[in-house]
């Protein structure tokens, strides 16, 4: 068993930033990288909206920079995945610790735990999504919309997020298709009005996406209108980009029943702090953020989590 003052789960902007601050505070953090080093950011093509990169940066390069910076100050990186957790366990000397068990059979015991496991975008499940990921398929209009200026794109979804992303893209793109599976929008009334009154947005009600098409990158999508009904009809649209806006799933299953979450599974924190319902456990990044889901916001929350972990350790040391 390995004991550490600060254990961090997740290797996205939140996790690496938390590791940087914790290491510089001499907490000698251990970071378990998880199944997707670099986090959700790795499915985008280029990052142009993170401070410090005036010419943009490839996601892999940016995350490698963050990783090396955290390592420089002593963070121990572990290429492993957490599979079981015990929060608030009692250590041999009687104080509370948090234990994480990995798929390689390792056990880590920590005085403080920072959960930065992120959230995964939901995809439709069609094979071509994976084929074109990073080649026209995106789950973040704010991240990637800039690359489609003056072009035609499609957004899938019928809720507030989909409507918001369609409106954002309409400010950049020549045309936006909003592909809605149902015959109505689930979004709030104000969001529906904005979409329906925008001349650059065409809403395709009762349409399902069958496949994406193109040579090396997305150039079109095959849809079906009223699938399974008597008036079913195949439809093709020419597009340059395909945006998923059907929600995210926070990677918090490991802590189900141990820590307070909302109905979707996002970890609840106290006010604007990263403190959770379990003493000594802090949440940072997309696993606790159902709203913004931006790298710079996640990095800031990682900083806050490390600072709070340091303060917490001072209280139990005294």
pLDDT tens, 62-91?
999 999 999 999 999 999 999 999 999 887
- 6, 143, 163, 287: the catalytic one is 143
For residue 95, is pLDDT > 90?
A: no
Q: Is 144 a catalytic residue?
A: yes
Q: Supply the pTM of this predicted model.
A: 0.82
CATH pick for 123-244 out of 3.20.20.70, 3.30.70.20, 3.30.70.1450, 3.50.50.60: 3.50.50.60
Whether residue 205 contacts residue 183, with contact meaning beta carbons closer than 8 Å, is answered with: yes
Q: pLDDT tier at 220 (50, 70, 90 boundaries)?
A: very high
- 6, 111, 144, 163: the catalytic one is 144
pLDDT recorded at residue 120: 87
The arithmetic mean of pLDDT across residues 273-280, rounded, is: 97
For residue 20, is pLDDT > 80?
A: yes
Closest CA relative to residue 157, chosen from 57, 53, 236, 248: 248
Whether residue 21 contacts residue 267, with contact meaning beta carbons closer than 8 Å, is answered with: no
Distance CA 97, CA 108 (A): 10
Q: pLDDT tier at 39 (50, 70, 90 boundaries)?
A: confident
For residue 43, is pLDDT > 80?
A: no
| More confidently predicted of 40 and 74 | 74
H/E segment holding residue 166:
helix 160-170
- 6, 55, 111, 140: the catalytic one is 140
Whether residue 259 contacts residue 278, with contact meaning beta carbons closer than 8 Å, is answered with: yes
Q: Is 140 a catalytic residue?
A: yes
Mean pLDDT score of the chain, rounded to an integer?
94
Domains of the chain, residue spans: 2-120+249-317, 123-244
pLDDT recorded at residue 44: 73
Q: Is 160 a catalytic residue?
A: no
What CATH superfamily classification does 2-120+249-317 receive? FAD/NAD(P)-binding domain (3.50.50.60)
Same fold, 2-120+249-317 and 123-244: yes
Whether residue 286 contacts residue 248, with contact meaning beta carbons closer than 8 Å, is answered with: yes
For residue 274, is pLDDT > 90?
A: yes
Whether residue 195 contacts residue 166, with contact meaning beta carbons closer than 8 Å, is answered with: yes
């Amino acid at each position: 068993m390995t004991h550490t003052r600060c254990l961090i789960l997740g290797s996205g902007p939140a996790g690496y930033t938390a590791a940087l601050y914790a290491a510089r505070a001499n907490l000698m953090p251990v970071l378990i990288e998880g199944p997707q080093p670099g986090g959700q950011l790795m499915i985008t093509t280029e990052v142009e909206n993170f401070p410090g990169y005036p010419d943009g940066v490839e996601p892999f390069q940016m995350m490698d920079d963050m990783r090396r910076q955290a390592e420089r100050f002593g963070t121990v990186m572990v290429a492993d995945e957490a599979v079981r957790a015990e929060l608030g366990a009692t250590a041999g000397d009687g104080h509370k610790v948090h234990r994480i068990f990995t798929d390689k059979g390792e056990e880590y015991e920590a005085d403080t735990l920072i959960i930065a496991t992120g959230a995964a975008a939901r995809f439709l499940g069609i094979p071509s999504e994976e084929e074109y990921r990073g080649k026209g398929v995106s789950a973040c209009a704010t991240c990637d919309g800039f690359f489609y200026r003056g072009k035609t794109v499609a957004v899938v979804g019928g809720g507030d997020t989909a409507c918001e992303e369609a409106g954002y893209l309409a400010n950049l793109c020549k045309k936006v298709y909003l592909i809605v599976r149902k015959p109505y929008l689930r979004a709030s009334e104000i969001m529906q009005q904005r979409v329906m009154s925008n001349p650059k947005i065409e809403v395709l009600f009762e349409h399902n996406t069958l496949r994406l098409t193109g040579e090396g990158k997305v150039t079109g999508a095959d849809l079906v209108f009223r699938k399974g009904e008597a008036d079913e009809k195949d439809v093709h649209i020419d597009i340059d980009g395909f945006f998923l806006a059907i929600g995210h799933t926070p990677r918090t299953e490991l802590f189900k029943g141990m820590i307070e979450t909302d109905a979707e599974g996002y970890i609840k924190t106290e006010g604007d702090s990263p403190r959770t319902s379990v003493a000594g456990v802090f949440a940072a990044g997309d696993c606790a953020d159902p709203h913004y889901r931006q790298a710079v916001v996640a990095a800031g929350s990682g900083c806050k989590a490390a600072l709070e972990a340091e303060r917490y350790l001072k209280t139990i040391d005294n």
